[in-house]
């Protein structure tokens, strides 16, 4: 069994996906649980692989608005260098970094990085979330992710850590919100930006591909939504984990 170190694990959705594909995952420190990546130094030669997604807020489209309104000092710090440092110290056989498409790729001495853009719905998920996965190996192996020939043409919008709306809210002639439809035809009212309700959380759980019983005891609903919105959808994570396994097994 391949031993994997997870950096910036959050609530562990990417870890869960890798575990479901047969990897043994050890979680590193995370701010969510009081950890500090800057003081973490993994041992060399103990892990076969390293996975993780450094916080992406600095490279999101919203970051440009934050810069304009509040200034550069209010933009989230770039923690990709900390990810690169930990990979260098751990010296694994391979590493995988998940980020928004606009983020810079990781550059780790001694590794060749191959990149792949993946949308959740392309690999059997429910949402339109698009992420870039950077796969680094010593010999430059490709990450051959299997995509569906046919997939849902109207996926759910990506789950947002902000608790943002699922769909645009359409206002009717009487001033009330019109009902919109899920891809399966069921009606619901549009969610407005900042809606942090138990109902939104339960639907976010479903959209991310988690079991209906999934919960985060001890957290407020807003904290739960923030945490789950920062995670990788399970279908996307499993597709990538499977591709990593197949790449490593290929002679």
One digit per residue, pLDDT tens: the chain, 251 residues?
799 999 999 999 999 999 999 999 999 999 999 999 999 999 999 999 999 999 876 656 655 554 545 556 555 678 999 999 999 999 999 999 999 998 999 999 999 999 999 999 999 999 999 999 999 999 999 999 999 988 888 999 998 777 764 444 443 444 444 444 444 433 343 333 445 688 889 999 999 999 999 999 999 999 999 899 999 999 999 999 999 999 999 85
Q: What is the pLDDT of residue 166?
A: 43
Tokens describing residue 230: 């920062």
Contacts of 181 (CB under 8 A, 6+ apart): 187, 188
Q: What is the pLDDT of residue 187?
A: 38
- Hey, is 197 helix, strand or coil? coil
Give CA–CA dist 4/110, Å, rounded: 19
The fold of the 3-148+232-249 domain, in CATH, is Rossmann fold (3.40.50)
Give all strands (DSSP E) within 17-90, no chain letters: 24-27, 49-52
Mutual angle of helices 13-20 and 234-249, in 10-degree steps: 50
Note if the pTM is more than 0.85. no
Centre a 10 Å sphere on the Cβ of residue 93 and count the other Cβ atoms it contains. Answer: 16
Q: Is 47 exposed, middle or buried (0-12, 13-18, 19+ CB in 10 A)?
A: buried
């Amino acid at each position: 069994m391949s031993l994997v170190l997870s950096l910036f694990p959050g609530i562990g959705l990417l870890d869960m996906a890798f575990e479901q594909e047969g990897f043994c995952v050890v979680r590193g420190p995370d701010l969510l649980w009081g950890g500090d990546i800057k003081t973490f130094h993994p041992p060399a030669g103990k892990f076969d692989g390293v996975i993780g997604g450094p916080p992406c807020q600095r490279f999101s489209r919203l970051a440009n608005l934050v810069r304009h309104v509040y200034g550069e000092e209010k933009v989230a710090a770039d923690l990709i260098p900390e990810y690169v440092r930990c990979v260098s110290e751990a010296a694994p056989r391979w590493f995988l970094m998940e980020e928004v498409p606009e983020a810079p790729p990781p550059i780790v001495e001694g590794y060749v990085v191959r990149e792949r853009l993946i949308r959740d719905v392309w690999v059997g998920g429910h949402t339109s979330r698009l992420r870039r996965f950077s796969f680094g190996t010593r010999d430059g192996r490709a990450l051959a992710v299997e995509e569906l020939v046919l997939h849902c043409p109207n996926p759910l919008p990506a789950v947002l850590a902000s608790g943002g709306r699922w769909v645009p809210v359409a206002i009717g002639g009487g001033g009330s919100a019109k009902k919109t439809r899920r891809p399966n035809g069921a009606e619901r009212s549009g969610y407005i930006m900042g809606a942090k309700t138990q109902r939104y959380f339960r639907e976010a759980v479903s959209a991310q591909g988690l079991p209906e019983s999934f919960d985060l005891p001890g957290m407020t609903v807003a904290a739960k939504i923030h945490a789950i919105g920062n995670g990788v959808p399970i279908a996307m994570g499993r597709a990538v984990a499977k591709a990593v396994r197949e790449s490593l097994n290929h002679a």
